[in-house]
Copies of this chain bind each other. A is one copy, B any other.
Amino acid sequence: MLTHQDNEMLTRTGTGTPMGELFRRFWQPVALSRELPENDGPPIRVQLLGEHLVAFRDTQGRVGLVEPKCPHRGADLFYGRNEECGLRCVFHGWKFDVTGKAVDLPIVPRDSAYHETISIRAYPTREFGEIIWAWLGPKDSVPEVPQLDFGTVSAPHRYVTKKLQECNWAQAIEGALDTSHFSFLHMPAPSVPSNENPDAPADERRLRWIREDPMPRFSILEHDVGFVVGGARRTDSELLYWRSAQFALPSHSTTPSTLPGENHFGYTFVPIDDENCWIYTYVWNPERPLSEEERAHLKGGHGVVAEVDENFRPLRNRSNEYMLNRVEQKTLSFTGVRGVAEQDALVQESMGRIADRTIEHLTTTDAAVVRFRRTMLKQAKDLAAGTEPSAPRHHEGFRLRSGSWMANEGVPFEDVMRERFGDPVGRVIAENETVTK
């Protein structure tokens, strides 16, 4: 439960808001690299943190991310010609390069100061992990792009996509950090045996443990760029079944089901505006390339990867009630909605465009949600008070993994993580680095 003021601070990311400023201290996904497939190809519209922008890939392959209004008369540069290292307005031919500088003003007299002074707002970009990232923060100190683990493996080892979600970013990531909801939302219908679950990414035993212990005991460990949360459930034996999930500032997470050798899954939640967000979703396997079969499977929507249309909008969405089937809800799955991704969207969007956190009744299983909010609000308030966040400088610290493990009762969470990942908080230590903590 938050005060109205804190709920506003948590959820609003427009220019000048405290949370908007915090987001602007971190690189933000702008588009999938494949949305700008060719040099000098069509520009695309982008909306990010409430800002309307145009992205284009220039003759040299560089990605420009600029404000859409031509400074001459305000025509929209989205309709512009992407030609010879610049975007040219179709109205009177004013042309701008990826840095926003005017490089040709054909109707302006040769001696005009305009040739030196005219420019448009432009943000630095990078490509990493098949995603185009932008830096919307202060240009005097631009850090490295966060080295999220999926981006460090070679392309054959990963699959990257995105999906539209029609609600505020914060309630979306809260759904990812709250792993207790697996005991309900993603379960088969109560009448269905655990071995017939159509959706949950787990084998029969794991599924049964999740169903039968809906109140896992949570532990949280902080690290340089966020925290990892682990939940322990009872099993058939003496062992506990641990599931861990990462949170990295400001809006990255990883999922808890991965056992050794299995694929990893992660998300980055990017505010489009305060009522919609993109969920960049990635699947990777550090140990082997994804097979063609897996890849085909993921393209059609599978697990946390939604089945989307050509604009990355889920086919099962709020406008069609997620194609909820009430007969299937009785006989097949807890929700009657197909797809883990779609089930998540259903509950998160059902809270309203911006969830009202003043009327909640939280309980012990909401530990990660509470920690997430506290972390974000503290970071935003600190920044507003003049203290820059330190996480953006730890770009290697974003290389994190999470997943499942079995351990004896009494083993502390950091030891479970160490056993599973070789690090107490799930960091992947590059070979040429030494463990510093």
A4 in the interface (beta carbon within 8 A): no
Q: Is the CB of B215 within 8 A of A109?
A: yes
Q: Is the CB of B335 within 8 A of A71?
A: no
Would you list which residues of chain A between 38 and 83 have a CB under 8 Å from chain B? 41-42, 69, 71-76, 78-79, 81, 83
For A89, list chain B residues within 8 Å (CB). Answer: 184
Residue on B nearest A45 in the bound complex, by CB: B321
For A190, list chain B residues within 8 Å (CB). Answer: 83
User: How extensive is the interface on chain A, given as a class?
Assistant: 35 or more
Q: Is the CB of B326 within 8 A of A106?
A: no
* Contact of A74 (CB < 8 Å), options: B90, B93, B335, B356: B356
Taking A91-B181, A109-B215 as contacts, is the C-beta distance between A79 and B363 under 8 angstroms? no
Q: Is the CB of A76 within 8 A of B215?
A: no
* A394 CB, min distance to chain B CBs, angstroms: 31
Residue on B nearest A40 in the bound complex, by CB: B330
A42, A91, A362: residue with the most chain B Cβ atoms closer than 10 Å: A91
* Contact of A184 (CB < 8 Å), options: B91, B108, B343: B91
Stretch at the interface among A154-162, A301-309, A344-352: A344-352
* A396 CB, min distance to chain B CBs, angstroms: 34
Q: Is the CB of A79 within 8 A of B351?
A: no
Residue on B nearest A91 in the bound complex, by CB: B347
* Contact of A79 (CB < 8 Å), options: B71, B347, B355: B347
* Contact of A107 (CB < 8 Å), options: B105, B214, B357: B214
| Chain A window 115-136, contacts with chain B (Cβ cutoff 8 Å), 1 for yes, 0 for no | 0001000000000000000000
For A357, list chain B residues within 8 Å (CB). Answer: 74
Residue on B nearest A41 in the bound complex, by CB: B326
* Contact of A71 (CB < 8 Å), options: B109, B324, B361: B361
Q: Is the CB of B73 within 8 A of A355?
A: yes
A329 in the interface (beta carbon within 8 A): yes
Q: Is the CB of A42 within 8 A of B326?
A: yes
Q: Is the CB of B363 within 8 A of A112?
A: yes
Give bound CA distance, A313 to B366, whole Å. 42
Q: Is the CB of B359 within 8 A of A79?
A: no
Would you list which residues of chain A between 319 and 368 have a CB under 8 Å from chain B? 324, 326, 329, 334-335, 343, 346-347, 350-352, 355-357, 359-366
Give bound CA distance, A261 to B106, whole Å. 33
* Contact of A92 (CB < 8 Å), options: B74, B107, B181: B181
Q: Is the CB of B359 within 8 A of A180?
A: no
| Chain A window 172-186, contacts with chain B (Cβ cutoff 8 Å), 1 for yes, 0 for no | 000000001101110
Q: Is the CB of B74 within 8 A of A184?
A: no
Q: Is the CB of A107 within 8 A of B180?
A: yes
For A346, list chain B residues within 8 Å (CB). Answer: 79, 90
Q: Is the CB of B363 within 8 A of A76?
A: no
Q: Is the CB of B363 within 8 A of A107?
A: yes
Q: Is the CB of A74 within 8 A of B360?
A: yes
Q: Is the CB of B109 within 8 A of A363?
A: yes
Give bound CA distance, A74 to B347, whole Å. 9
Residue on B nearest A112 in the bound complex, by CB: B363
Taking A334-B90, A363-B108 as contacts, is the C-beta distance between A347 and B181 under 8 angstroms? no
Residue on B nearest A81 in the bound complex, by CB: B329
Taking A69-B359, A214-B106 as contacts, is the C-beta distance between A352 and B93 under 8 angstroms? no
For A118, list chain B residues within 8 Å (CB). Answer: 361
For A334, list chain B residues within 8 Å (CB). Answer: 81, 90
| Chain A window 91-114, contacts with chain B (Cβ cutoff 8 Å), 1 for yes, 0 for no | 111000000000001111100101
For A92, list chain B residues within 8 Å (CB). Answer: 180-181, 183-185, 214, 365
Q: Is the CB of A93 within 8 A of B183?
A: yes
- 17 A-B residue pairs with Cβ-Cβ distance under 8 Å, sorted by A, are A41-B326, A69-B359, A71-B361, A72-B361, A72-B362, A73-B360, A74-B352, A74-B359, A79-B335, A79-B346, A90-B346, A92-B185, A92-B365, A106-B214, A109-B215, A109-B363, A118-B361
Q: Which 5 A-B pairs have the closest CB atoms?
A: A76-B350, A42-B326, A74-B351, A93-B184, A91-B347
